[in-house]
Amino acid sequence: MKIKEIRVIVCNPGRNFVTVKVITENGTYGLGDATLNGREMAVVTYLEEHVVPCLIGRDAQNIEDIWQYLYRGVYWRRGAITMAAIAAIDMALWDIKGKVAGLPVYQLLGGKSRTAVTVYAHANGENIEGTLDEAEKLIKQGFKAIRLQSAIPDLAVTYGVLGDKKDYFELQGDRPLPPEQEWSTKKYFNMIETLFACARERFGHDIDLLHDVHSRLTPIESAKLGKMLEPYNLLFLEDASIAENQDNYKVIRQHTTIPLAIGETYNSIWDCKDLIQNQLIDYIRVAATHAGGITPLRRIADFASIYNVRTAPHGAPDLSPVCFSAHMHLNIWAPNFGIQEFVGFGNDISNKIFKQDMRLENGMVYVSEEPGLGIDFDEEEAKKHPYKRSYLPVCRLEDGTLWHW
């Protein structure tokens, strides 16, 4: 089953998505996601210039060998750009294998470990009340787990709550240079405990609550936050401190029993290894798109399972529906699956481009039963919504110092 052609298509139904289509000689094709938010075109070039020429004529059935060939065969291993490129090829090959077998990908992984996948939704607000009003709407829709983020009073813009930059993603053409946001740990600490205290008072203790620090805190500040939030029983605290210095998590762990989650920026099992085997985290959040695809995510999940670490794949709006679908197949199989981040199935435009039949019911998502990943891609529709240069925000302290982001 030789690979005949590989197409790399960038579209923007609101966010940029890099989609890879691997086509075999007999016409079967598979889809993969190679989106690297804010650096999309670097991955496109990596694929077109360096990966595609190596794969034409190779047997699409040998997923493992192709993965090893692209990973080990390159002297320059790892890195976000390389791993996003490998990820997209890997997903597409699993998609093809499923189509050939006439089975959804989760069946190839070992079948279902659960009936559906519990997801957590985002409640973002300009203030505590606004965030809790959002949370209430989500609870009424049936969500059982909610991530709470609130803007910090007296700061220009807080990450995850874009404030006056909310319309950034509505802008047409190339977007302005990175939006700038402010950070003050002192002001954040004045707000954050109240947010969770009010949430527990208003919603009780049955609902699962989560929070993402976006790596804004030093380890000792994270430890303090963990202790501060312990009474409110969070499902996990995400990205408490920066991901590069994993010793941070030893410091945090010494001080607090709050469950910790990290990994959305990790590119390989090597990035996860020490945190997992030292049991310094409770949830590993690697994304299929950013850590090399389904093949390595399965390996990471198995490795994590022997150290009591559960999976909680990244699910932000800049991961395409192809990645979400790949996560769904992994989630429904992984014995140590924890929870999936979920921001909806996309807008009207993206739903015309990416066609899928996953469904949300009572805070749980049901996997597609179609062969392969269960997702299709309308190239003509995609062409109507071309790439727009966009950036992630940067973060400064109030005196102008560039902070963790």
Residues forming contacts to ligand EZ4 in the complex (CB under 6 A) are: 37, 212, 214, 264, 314, 316, 318, 341, 392
214 in catalytic set: yes
Q: How far is the CB of 39 from ligand EZ4 (least distance, A)?
A: 10
Rounded to a whole number of angstroms, the distance between the first and last alpha carbons of the chain is 44
Q: How far is the CB of 271 from ligand EZ4 (least distance, A)?
A: 16
Tokens coding 85: 């490129």
Closer residue to ligand EZ4, CB minimum distance, 4 or 39: 39
306 binds, among ligand EZ4, Co ion, none (CB under 5 to 8 A by kind): none
Closer residue to ligand EZ4, CB minimum distance, 63 or 281: 281
What is the C-alpha to C-alpha distance for residues 261 and 49, in angstroms, rounded to an integer?
A: 36
Closer residue to ligand EZ4, CB minimum distance, 90 or 341: 341
392 binds, among ligand EZ4, Co ion, none (CB under 5 to 8 A by kind): ligand EZ4
325 binds, among Co ion, ligand EZ4, none (CB under 5 to 8 A by kind): none
Q: How far is the CB of 212 from Co ion (least distance, A)?
A: 4
**Residue of 159, 188, 232, 283 with catalytic role:** 159
Closer residue to ligand EZ4, CB minimum distance, 66 or 312: 312
Q: Who's near 245: CB < 8 A, 6+ residues apart?
A: none
Q: Who's near 178: CB < 8 A, 6+ residues apart?
A: 38, 391, 392, 393, 394
99 binds, among ligand EZ4, Co ion, none (CB under 5 to 8 A by kind): none
Q: How far is the CB of 385 from Co ion (least distance, A)?
A: 26
Instruction: Summarize as ranges the residues that interact with Co ion (CB under 5 A).
Output: 212
Helix (H) or strand (E) holding 35: none
- How far CA 336 is from CA of 156, 247, 319, 373, in Å, comes to 40, 25, 22, 21
Q: How far is the CB of 112 from Co ion (least distance, A)?
A: 27
Tokens coding 350: 């993206």
What is the C-alpha to C-alpha distance for residues 173 and 185, in angstroms, rounded to an integer?
A: 35
Query: What letter does residue 11 receive in the DSSP assignment?
Result: E
Q: How far is the CB of 285 from ligand EZ4 (least distance, A)?
A: 8
β-pair type (260-262, 236-238): parallel
Closer residue to Co ion, CB minimum distance, 42 or 343: 343
Helix (H) or strand (E) holding 53: helix 52-55
159 in catalytic set: yes
**Residue of 122, 211, 214, 290 with catalytic role:** 214
CB 350 within 8 A of CB 326: no
Nearest residue to the partner ligand EZ4, using Cβ: 316
Closer residue to ligand EZ4, CB minimum distance, 312 or 382: 312
- Give me the numbers of helices (H) and strands (E) for the chain, helices first please: 14, 17
What is the C-alpha to C-alpha distance for residues 63 and 263, in angstroms, rounded to an integer?
A: 24
37 binds, among Co ion, ligand EZ4, none (CB under 5 to 8 A by kind): ligand EZ4
282 binds, among ligand EZ4, Co ion, none (CB under 5 to 8 A by kind): none
Q: What angle do CA 192, 196, 200 make, to 5 degrees?
A: 165
What residues are annotated to the active site? Answer: 159, 214
